[in-house]
Amino acid sequence: MNSTRPQMVIILRYDIYLFFGGLFIYGANVSLICEDGGMDNGCRSQLLDSPDVTLQRENIAKGAAPIPARESVVRYQMSMKEDDYTYTQSLRVFVGTWNVNGQPPTVSLSDWLACDVEPPDIYGIGFQELDLSKEAFLFNDTPREEEWMFAVCNALHTAVEYKRLATIRLVGMMLSVFVQKQHAPHVRGIAVDTVGTGIMGKMGNKGGVGIRFEIYNTTMCFVNSHLAAHVEEYERRNQDYRDICSRMSFTKFRPPKSIVNHDQVYWLGDLNYRIVDVDPKKVKELIDIENFDPVLEYDQLIRQHNLNEVFMGYKEGKINFRPTYKYDTGTDNWDSSEKNRAPAWCDRVLWKGDSIKQLKYRSHPIMRISDHKPVSAVFESKVRVIDTVKYRKIHEEVMKKLDKMENEFLPQVMVDTTDVIFETLRFLEPQTKELIIANTGQVPVQFEFIKKLDDTTYCKEWLHIEPYLGSVRPGEKCDIRLEVYVDKRSASKLNSGQDKLYDILVLHLEGGKDIFITVTGSYERSCFGSSLETLANITVPVREIPIGKLMDMELENRKDGLENTVYPVPKEVWYLVDYLYRYGLKEANLFEQSGLHSELIQIRNWLDNGSQDALSSSVHSVAEALLLLLESTAEPVIPYNFHSVCTDCATNYQQCRQIIQQLPDLTRNVFLYLCLFLQELLSHSNDNGLDIKTIATLFGAIFIRDPPRSRDSQNSRTQQTLDRKKANFVYHFLVNDQSDLLAIT
Amino acid sequence: MANRGGPGGRPNGTAQQQQGGGGGGRICQFKLVLLGESAVGKSSLVLRFVKGQFHEYQESTIGAAFLTQTLCLEDTTVKFEIWDTAGQERYHSLAPMYYRGAQAAIVVYDVTNQDTFGRAKTWVKELQRHASPNIVIALAGNKADLSNKRNVELDEAKAYAEENGLLFMETSAKTAVNVNEIFQEIGESIVGLFVLVVGIQICRSEQSRLNYVSKIVYSLWYRK
């Protein structure tokens, strides 16, 4: 039979795996058995020995350590309570080692591996000198691996079924671990490693191979080593042992695990320690009468072990069998070759860990194909098994405790009010209120007023919040300034009822709750922000019209531009222009110098309330009020839908005239009325020093206002070009006679 | 890790899978939102579930309270990120901020008040239209301890829940009846759904997907 590859069953419980969405789940009870022993789902084992995770309440409270270390905390807490949810179960562990001297397996191995009545739960089987060929040494490649594996698999105890967990080989050293099928689902975290200590201290002719895994809740490690040869080289052997200990590393774990990081370690192999300082003849005599004790006194390993030079912390059972080396192959006779090697207990099994009891320690002289005899040891090892019911209960308790703490450490604040109410608000008159955010919790709070779904800003444009984000330490507070201010951008929407002085702010605490703050106020309508149509259609001041009616009128205007208005231009425009005409024609810097805020308020009141008294204000404030009135409307004088045609044909006077002819009567009147006034104003440039280009630019921007937000998206260069075109457009109407256009009306 | 940072640092409760502790299986994190008319007992239900407490005069929630609570199910640990929303009508428009991205919702009404049941139905409709299509919705008829003042019949609510594929229980935050149970049931049903979705995603071929789904359907059927 050529296909001698053992038919290993790979337990990949794919059905269960899938059912629990296993590929994403680390905790599922699956064990992957692989030919080179390289993989599985092992990160879990970290849970029992995370050394440094402690609950640092203080740090959490200071905000230095975030609670999200939760998973490691759970692991740590659970590991502290391990005794409460685990019980012990005894497993029979069979450990075998054999230096096969490069021979193929021509005999059955069952006399070695299945010589006991009771089947072991775990097998750890190691070979040395599996293949002595150069190929094996240089390329680490040998057909012997399969042959011996096949022989092993066929010789395991037949009373039960076994699964192979892993096999690892370095040149001639091979180690395989098998467990009974019933235990396989409880095995996790399989990992392997090799350490060469041979030629140059690196090569694999000597050294060790290891397999580690967890079975139930106990970690196990098997190490098979072949230490340095030659009688006098015991210190080299000690050194090899130390090298294997320090260099063997299961790197799939973070941090990587060493041999020492396991609950139970089984160390087997051809350790090569000899019997010295005694005449070999004497040794053979004593052995023949099975009087081993006097001979053991000369055993190098026992001596070195007692001196703590090697295998510190390990135990070895009492040797009650003949030395396993060196025999004439095929016989039970001591080496009869020229070298006439002295007998030695080269092949040994040691262990480390609590709850391990050695039941048997023996050699198997009947196996005669090598110059060594195989050795085996049987242990009764106690492993910790999780009591699922208890585990869940304790796990739940830990979780609850953490929940409690987590909730306790959520950011908490008090705000002095969730309803911020402003008094009557008027155009251009800001009002502020304060909101106090007090941190009443145990952790620093990061707060932020956040956008509501689908909103682009966290508050309405008439509201300003300072600061809108920040942090507050426990026991401290932060004052938030809420300022409402209705200006030319927001006035028209509030006038028409399209917007209200009402906003709900979402104050979000990072990692915690949201608080809703309602901001309300009533807005006193003004001619500023009213449409030209409305103003041209009411004969009384704005304040004398009921709000409902005002809103209706704005809605009407929006639907269709009115054909006939009561006045040809809004009276407010006329009042302001008339004032300028009377008192301002010769004023230097008119429209260039800004007015006084208090006078603007005065003008606003005068226009909105109507007054018998004459307006007394500086012409500069009146000029600014006029600009503001034209800028606050929902639609500019030249409506938005004419915006691009105006700028497109700005160089062509005739086309510009045609556009003006197409305008609705009212806006055309306002436009021409203002242009005529500006012509008049410019005719006094000797007195007022005004420059036509400046005026054209200023009024270009007002007559042909850019649609909202379009300004943000343009770069300054295109904006400059656009502004120049608008100035061009207006310029035509400042230098040409417009009386024929007026005549149309 | 109790990862709470969505893109905007907001809890987003994505159904995260985490490494579980020994024997505890997976840990899933879910976002759950409570909706319903004001004063039906949303905050009281959460308080009972999370802290085991009940306050006769629970303050009105102005905003959205946030708490977490873990439930250990068969082999999964479910961590709920609970958003308890304000019930007042004026905050209605803000509700989507909280139910968007939620894996579960509890719509609460007051068994003594028929109006709140009507409001609950509108919430269910809104969720069915605008929330995530996989959202698990539970209907809770709270204040079940006041059954002598009952105005919403158990059968009526049950029938409605069945028609709309909702989990349903009458609960009492005051006496703790069915409070843990409703969260438990939500957890189980989310986990079931989640497993189904993930399972389907990892099946590479059409055939394996089909096999998988039929297996799930079979097992669910069998369990009933």
**Please, are residues A712 and A611 in contact by the beta-carbon 8 Å criterion?**
no
- Chain B partners within 8 Å of A512 (Cβ): 66
Comparing alpha-carbon positions, the chain A residue that sits nearest to B198 is A21
Query: Distances in Å between the alpha carbon of B192 and those of A282, A395, B73, B189, B216?
Result: 75, 21, 11, 5, 9
- Residue A59: how many other CB atoms lie within 10 Å: 12
Copy the structure tokens of residue A218: 């106990």
**Number of helices followed by number of strands (H, E) in chain A:** 25, 23
Q: Is the pLDDT of residue A9 over 60?
A: no
Is the pLDDT assigned to residue A55 strictly greater than 70?
Answer: no
Question: Confidence band (pLDDT; 50, 70, 90) for A613?
Answer: confident
Which residue type does B68 have? T
Q: Do the chains contact at A391 and B24, CB–CB below 8 Å? A: yes
CB contact under 8 A, B2 and A453: no
Residue A713, pLDDT score: 65
Q: Which of A386, A514, A520 to mutate to test the interface with B (most CBs of B within 10 A)?
A: A514
Average pLDDT over all residues of chain B: 84
Q: Which residues on A lie below 8 Å from B194 (Cβ)?
A: 21
Shortest CA gap A77–chain B (Å): 10
Tell if the CB–CB gap between A504 and B96 is shorter than 8 Å.
Answer: no
DSSP annotation of A310: S
More confident residue, A32 or A599: A599
Instruction: Indicate yes or no: CB of A515 within 8 angstroms of CB of B63.
Output: yes
- Residue A548: pLDDT above 90? no
Number of other residues whose CB lies within 10 A of the CB of residue A318: 10
Of B63, B68, B90, nearest to A406 by CB-CB distance is B68
Higher pLDDT, residue A739 or B33: B33
Q: Which one-letter amino acid corresponds to residue B126?
A: E
CA distance A122 to chain B (A): 22
Contact predicate A447/A471, CB 8 Å: yes
Is the pLDDT reported for residue A71 higher than 70?
Answer: yes
The DSSP letter of residue A48 is G
Domains in chain A with CATH codes: 2-80 (no CATH), 85-386 (3.60.10.10), 413-524 (2.60.40.10), 566-744 (1.10.555.10)
Interface test with B, best of A384, A392, A517 (most B CBs within 10 A): A392
Give the H or E element holding residue A403.
helix A388-408
Coil, strand or helix: which one is B34?
A: strand
Instruction: Please compute Rg for chain B using Cα positions.
Output: 18
Q: Which amino acid is at B213?
A: V
Question: Average pLDDT for residues A136-145, to the nearest whole number?
Answer: 83
Collect all residues of chain A within an 8 Å Cβ-Cβ radius of residue B11.
Answer: 511
Please report residues of A whose CB lies closer than 8 A to that of B10: 450, 508
The conformation of residue A374, written as its DSSP 8-state character, comes to -
Q: Report the residue of chain A nearest B86, measured CA to CA.
A: A516
> How far, in Å, CA of A593 to CA of A624, rounded?
8
The pTM assigned to this predicted structure is: 0.69
Q: Over pLDDT 90: what percentage of chain A?
A: 67
- Mean local confidence (pLDDT), B121-148: 94
Average pLDDT score over chain A: 87
How close, in Å, is residue A513 to chain B by CA atoms? 5
Contact (CB<8Å) A28/B69: no
Chain A residue with minimum CA distance to B88: A516
Q: How far apart are CA A509 and CA B10, in angstroms?
A: 9
How close, in Å, is residue A55 to chain B by CA atoms? 15
Least confident of A153-167, A237-251, A549-563, A682-696: A549-563
Enumerate the residues of chain B whose CB falls inside 8 A of the CB of residue A392.
23-24, 72
Rounded to an integer, the average pLDDT of B53-62 is: 94
Whether the CA torsion A556, A559, A564, A570 is positive or negative: it is: positive
Q: Checking DSSP bridges between strand A425-426 and strand A523-524, what pairing results, if any?
A: parallel
Using an 8 Å Cβ cutoff, are B175 and B56 in contact? no
pLDDT value for A138: 79
What is the pLDDT at residue A604? Answer: 96
Q: Which of A27, A450, A516 sits opposite B86 (nearest CB)?
A: A516
Q: What confidence score (pLDDT) does residue A139 get?
A: 78
Backbone angle region of A91, left / alpha / beta, with phi > 0 → left and psi within -120 to 50 → alpha: beta
Instruction: Give the Cα separation of A486 and A523 in Å (integer).
Output: 9
Query: Strand locations in A11-52, DSSP E?
Result: none
A515 pLDDT above the threshold of 50? yes
Query: What is the helix (H) or strand (E) element at residue A406, kind and residue range?
Result: helix A388-408
Decide if B94 and A68 are in contact by the 8 Å CB cutoff: no
Tell me the CB-side half-sphere exposure of residue A421, using CA atoms within 13 A: 2
Task: Report ipTM (2 d.p.).
Answer: 0.85
- Collect all residues of chain A within an 8 Å Cβ-Cβ radius of residue B212: 18
Cite the beta strand spans of A451-558 per DSSP E: 463-466, 469-472, 477-484, 502-509, 514-520, 523-524
Q: Could you report how far apart the first and last alpha carbons of chain B are, in Å?
A: 34
- With bands split at pLDDT 50, 70 and 90, how would you rate the model's confidence at A381? very high
DSSP A413-430: EEES-SEEE---EETT--
Kindly report which listed range (A193-202, A345-354, A478-487, A498-507) carries the lowest average pLDDT score. A193-202
Does the pLDDT at position A141 exceed 50?
yes
Q: Do A406 and B215 touch (CB under 8 A)?
A: no
Give the Cα separation of A611 and B25 in Å (integer).
Answer: 81
Question: What one-letter code names the amino acid at A602?
Answer: Q
- Single-letter amino acid, residue A694: T
Q: Which of A21, A68, A71 sits opposite B195 (nearest CB)?
A: A21
Cross-chain residue pair A516–B17, CB shorter than 8 Å: no
Contact between chains at B21 and A47 (C-beta distance less than 8 A): yes
Cβ pair A396:B8 closer than 8 A: no
Q: Do B198 and A24 touch (CB under 8 A)?
A: yes
Which residues of chain A does B203 touch, with a Cβ-Cβ cutoff of 8 Å? 18
- What is the DSSP secondary-structure string of A186-203? GEEEEEEEEEE-SGGGT-
Residue A147's pLDDT is what? 94
Write out the two tokens for A698.
Answer: 């200023």
pLDDT in tens, B158-212: 999 999 999 999 999 999 999 999 999 999 888 877 666 666 666 666 777 777 7
Helix (H, G, I), strand (E, B) or coil at B224: coil
> Scanning every residue of chain B, which has its alpha carbon at the shortest distance from the alpha carbon of A415?
B62
A75, A513, A516: residue with CB nearest B21: A75
Q: Do B51 and A407 touch (CB under 8 A)?
A: yes
Half-sphere exposure of A599 (CA within 13 A, CB side): 15
Q: How many CB atoms lie within 10 A of CB B219?
A: 11
Nearest-CA distance A37 → chain B (Å): 23
CA distances for A357 relative to A210, A267, A385, A452, B160, angstroms = 22, 15, 18, 68, 66
The Cα of B167 is separated from the nearest Cα of chain A by a number of Å equal to 23
How much is the pLDDT for A656? 92
Q: Which two tokens stand for residue A713?
A: 């998206």
In angstroms, the separation between the Cα of residue B128 and the nearest Cα of chain A is 18
Q: B24, B100 in Cβ contact below 8 A?
A: no
| Closest Cα in chain B to A398 | B70
Q: Count of A–B CB contacts within 8 Å?
A: 144
- Both tokens assigned to A341: 């090697």
- Which residues of B fall within a CB distance of 8 Å from A386? 22-23
pLDDT over 70 (residue B16)? no
Residue B111: DSSP 8-state: T
> Which residue type sits at A452?
K
Note the pLDDT of residue A396.
86
Residues from chain A contacting residue B67 (CB–CB below 8 Å) = 407, 410
Measured between CA atoms, how close is A107 to chain B, in angstroms?
44
pLDDT of A539 over the 80 cut: yes
Residue A422 and residue A521 in contact, taking contact as beta carbons nearer than 8 Å: yes
- Residue A25's pLDDT band, with cuts at 50, 70 and 90, is very low
- Residues A435 and A517: their CA atoms lie apart, in Å, by 10
